[in-house]
Amino acid sequence: MSAIQSWLSSGKDYIEGIRLYLQHGADNNLKRLFTEEQKTAYKETLLEKAMRDIAIGKEVVKEKEKKLPAKLSPKSWPLEMATTDVLKALREEWMIKYKTMQDLRSQLLHFPTDQERGEAAFKILELDAECDIIYEKRDYYNQHGRLPESRKKEDELIIDPKKMYSRMEVLKRYIRRENKNIEKNPAHSNAIDRKQQWINEYNRYAQKSGDDLI
């Protein structure tokens, strides 16, 4: 449990905390909660409490896990709300990403290794952010009768500030992963290029949020 003690005594990085809870925690409902939607102050508090309970050996699982079906929620974007060809195309694009995200959520606790669960958790966050981009396009179209002007490729993931922090945490993890790849093979040009790509994207978010650049 030294990793948990280290986490509690350090900056309590939310994404790292989720990874540790997926590895050491016993409450499957909490595991599902922590990997759904964006970070909130309530989830931060809940995660810290859960980690402290694990550290002192007093974690309590309050409810038996309820199996959730991997299916689309009809309330998310009902088919009847896609009233034009443009909206139908957006909804079709959204459905693919949303269904993949929901399938990953339902399978998350069944991946055999911590690494696979961690990769799936971050993929869920990434797909969630991509769905938000489609929601923004949909809402803009409903308001203005046309899609927003295309943004430059590097700006496509600049989205609602509520999602910005989660994306920044994902990017930091990507950068750490590429650092490990470069350590193993300093001549790994693809890892170097990917690392710079993640750094560039992170710094664009950081400029908007006022965080330190990498």
- pLDDT of res. 75: 39
- pLDDT of res. 64: 45
pTM above 0.75, yes or no: no
The pLDDT-based confidence of 111 (bands split at 50, 70, 90) is confident
List the chain domain ranges. Answer: 2-55, 67-149, 155-214
- pLDDT of res. 154: 45
- pLDDT of res. 70: 39
Share of the chain above pLDDT 90, in %: 0
The pLDDT-based confidence of 164 (bands split at 50, 70, 90) is confident
**Structural contact between residues 118 and 19, judged by C-beta atoms closer than 8 angstroms:** yes
Give yes or no for residue 138 having a pLDDT over 80.
Answer: yes
Please report the sign of the dihedral spanned by the C-alpha atoms of residue 28, residue 163, residue 88, residue 140.
positive
- Point out the least confidently predicted range of 32-41, 59-68, 115-124: 59-68
- pLDDT of res. 69: 40
Average pLDDT of every residue of the chain:
77
